Amino acid sequence: MWGFLKRPVVVTADINLSLVALTGMGLLSRLWRLTYPRAVVLFRRIRWQFFVEQNWSSVVAFPEYSSNVPVWSLRLLPALAGALSVPMAYQIVLELHFSHCAAMGAALLMLIENALITQSRLMLLESVLIFFNLLAVLSYLKFFNCQKHSPFSLSWWFWLTLTGVACSCAVGIKYMGVFTYVLVLGVAAVHAWHLLGDQTLSNVCVFCHLLARAVALLVIPVVLYLLFFYVHLILVFRSGPHDQIMSSAFQASLEGGLARITQGQPLEVAFGSQVTLRNVFGKPVPCWLHSHQDTYPMIYENGRGSSHQQQVTCYPFKDVNNWWIVKDPRRHQLVVSSPPRPVRHGDMVQLVHGMTTRSLNTHDVAAPLSPHSQEVSCYIDYNISMPAQNLWRLEIVNRGSDTDVWKTILSEVRFVHVNTSAVLKLSGAHLPDWGYRQLEIVGEKLSRGYHGSTVWNVEEHRYGASQEQRERERELHSPAQVDVSRNLSFMARFSELQWRMLALRSDDSEHKYSSSPLEWVTLDTNIAYWLHPRTSAQIHLLGNIVIWVSGSLALAIYALLSLWYLLRRRRNVHDLPQDAWLRWVLAGALCAGGWAVNYLPFFLMEKTLFLYHYLPALTFQILLLPVVLQHISDHLCRSQLQRSIFSALVVAWYSSACHVSNTLRPLTYGDKSLSPHELKALRWKDSWDILIRKH
């Protein structure tokens, strides 16, 4: 019974010291002095007060974080993700069945790449995205290799499930993660297709394989992605400063903010209701239908005339002039009757401006900035032959039936002018100074189908009780407070969040450091992240030009060699053994394919782009580089002498990459103040914006 005490207990473990060393070096390069600089990264549209080769008479302040902000903790996650990407690159190349030397080369290139170091040491998301991209690829390769000798084993299930989890996390970090997810799905689909043709497997076995892949790579990522936002919406339940980009219904579901104002207000809009109308489109900024006592100019700057009626605009701020009264055209009362008479789809209404009591009107006069559309105004009777045209037909766009009632927040409505069939629309153009730079409202005759710029919803609502104007103005100045809240379902809020994230575009199209995808490959651009307020120490997102150029060359060589091999294989000439060919194809599908799916889509995007968008594609280029070098050494160098010479050239090339990395180190860590001469020496391209200070 006690025999085990007579001999020592021995635990044997295989430890890859190379992997341990790479992990240690990755942690050291990313975590060293992580709290420096203790300042907010300057990466937004600001008015710079200093430029290259100018005296700095005044310095733009880089605000420091207050003492209660845990800078080290907040920067730790991106730094750890960047550090762990180094050993992960090593493992990916090994799982592709290339040599230990090639795997070390990939990891060391990841280690010394300046742009990856810089991006992972700040509170930015790219290093976390890259980590999950690589984890998804590594997990799939491990699963694929398990498939050959132990399908349906515990490790097989673990790596397959982890692939789906990593893909979901990558998409959850940034939408760019979907590119790598599509890549993994594509490779898995090809392997599944080959599996279908394997005659050694029974139909039941093939079905189980396909089902396992579908669950792990499709179901689990979707469920996890939904779970991320479910937790997010539970934890982030209060109103914040940027709520206005969301719909009124979404804002009303949050604690505080709009919910405090709209909570429990009457649900059904009735004749006599006092309402504010928010445009559903929300572009270029969220805004509300608005009027004020100023009139349109008699003559515009281009010589066209106007009706000189009261201006109607869309105003991007809460204001008492945003209130309108829904009036029954057949009655004079501006109060809600008892019982209230709800407004339904198809009803005729007049919209009376609450503060000026003038009715919303449109007529056959050109709008100030959109001459093909009608001017919208509040009607002033000048005793001329221009009668009021202030009847509007209400259309509920998201109605369930033609008898639906107009509801606060929930109903999306259009106002169709009875006389001209024009639709009330936000054009999005900013009026000149006479319109206080507010947004233009027009009557659009040619509006077909649904478009958010023609759709409105009631945001704030009360039942008007005062017929006298002074009493009514007092009502409008005092918002109602009631007790019932209206909550959107999780799926409604989730869907709106996804749409806003996809559709919302930054206005920073002329950002100082924006760039095009063509500039990334040749490293013709950089980003200045931080500048010391007193010295010339600075941090830039700037890549190792040796690695970037070499990665592009490796990609071109891979494409040319693959084309050559395919042409010769078509002629039944096999330059590579079958296992080497399959290894070459899989490496290209994941590495070259990873570069393509993470780079080429940016040519189709209408958004402001920056150099850091290229970093996920760069990591796949770095993985491909040692693969191509080993292939040249193993299959294109015919003699031992050629291999020796080629190896010496590779060592020299890597030494030059290390030298460049060390030379750019002051701009990577920002821990050293350089002289103007030293800074000029680092400006290897005219397009690089290295900030040089003259004393």
**pLDDT tier at 607 (50, 70, 90 boundaries)?**
confident
* pTM attached to this predicted model: 0.79
For range 11-33, the mean pLDDT: 91
Domain boundaries, the chain: 265-479
Say if residue 262's pLDDT is above 70.
no
How far apart are alpha carbons 513 and 680 in whole angstroms? 19
Say if residue 57's pLDDT is above 60.
no
**Predicted local confidence at residue 67, as pLDDT:** 83
**Predicted local confidence at residue 121, as pLDDT:** 94
Say if CB 536 and CB 676 are below 8 A apart.
yes
For range 608-624, the mean pLDDT: 95
Chain mean pLDDT for the chain: 87
How far apart are alpha carbons 154 and 159 in whole angstroms? 9
Give the least confident one: 184-188, 246-250, 447-451.
447-451
Taking CA atoms, 197 is separated from 193, 200, 201, 337, 348, in Å, by 7, 9, 9, 75, 66
Give the least confident one: 162-176, 213-227, 473-487, 679-693.
473-487
Pairwise pLDDT comparison (398 vs 622), residue with the higher score: 622
Q: DSSP states of 49-60 as a string?
A: S--TTEE-SS--
Say if residue 6's pLDDT is above 60.
yes
Say if residue 118's pLDDT is above 70.
yes
Query: Which tokens is 414 given?
Result: 């259009």
How far apart are alpha carbons 228 and 230 in whole angstroms? 6
Q: Which of 92, 115, 103 is nearest to 18 (CA)?
A: 103
**Predicted local confidence at residue 532, as pLDDT:** 86
**pLDDT tier at 2 (50, 70, 90 boundaries)?**
low
Q: Which of 118-122, 146-150, 284-288 has the highest mean pLDDT?
A: 118-122
Say if residue 382's pLDDT is above 80.
no
Write the burial class of residue 6 (CB in 10 Å: 0-12 exposed, 13-18 middle, 19+ buried): exposed
Q: Which of 455, 459, 441, 351 is nearest to 399 (CA)?
A: 455
**pLDDT tier at 475 (50, 70, 90 boundaries)?**
low
Say if residue 470's pLDDT is above 70.
no
The half-sphere exposure of 394 on its side-chain side, counting CA atoms within 13 A, is 31
**Predicted local confidence at residue 440, as pLDDT:** 95
For range 456-463, the mean pLDDT: 89
- Residue in the structure block whose two tokens are 């469920």: 223
Where are the alpha helices (H) located in 441-544, listed in sequence order?
469-477, 490-503, 517-521
Q: Is the peptide bond before 329 cis (omega within 30 degrees of 0)?
A: no
**pLDDT tier at 72 (50, 70, 90 boundaries)?**
very high
**pLDDT tier at 58 (50, 70, 90 boundaries)?**
very low
**pLDDT tier at 389 (50, 70, 90 boundaries)?**
confident
* Helix, strand or coil, per DSSP, at residue 242: coil
Give the least confident one: 71-80, 161-170, 352-361, 456-465.
456-465
Query: Which tokens is 365 given?
Result: 């006069």
For range 329-339, the mean pLDDT: 88
Pairwise pLDDT comparison (380 vs 133), residue with the higher score: 133
Say if residue 472's pLDDT is above 80.
no
**pLDDT tier at 46 (50, 70, 90 boundaries)?**
very low
Say if CB 513 and CB 526 are below 8 A apart.
yes
Please report which helix (H) or strand (E) contains residue 555, including its range. Answer: helix 545-570
What proportion of the chain, given as a percentage, has pLDDT over 90? Answer: 62
Say if CB 86 and CB 28 are below 8 A apart.
no
Mention the CATH class of domain 265-479. Answer: mainly beta
For range 505-520, the mean pLDDT: 75
**pLDDT tier at 134 (50, 70, 90 boundaries)?**
very high
Say if residue 474's pLDDT is above 80.
no
Say if residue 486's pLDDT is above 90.
no
The half-sphere exposure of 451 on its side-chain side, counting CA atoms within 13 A, is 14
How far apart are alpha carbons 59 and 621 in whole angstroms? 39
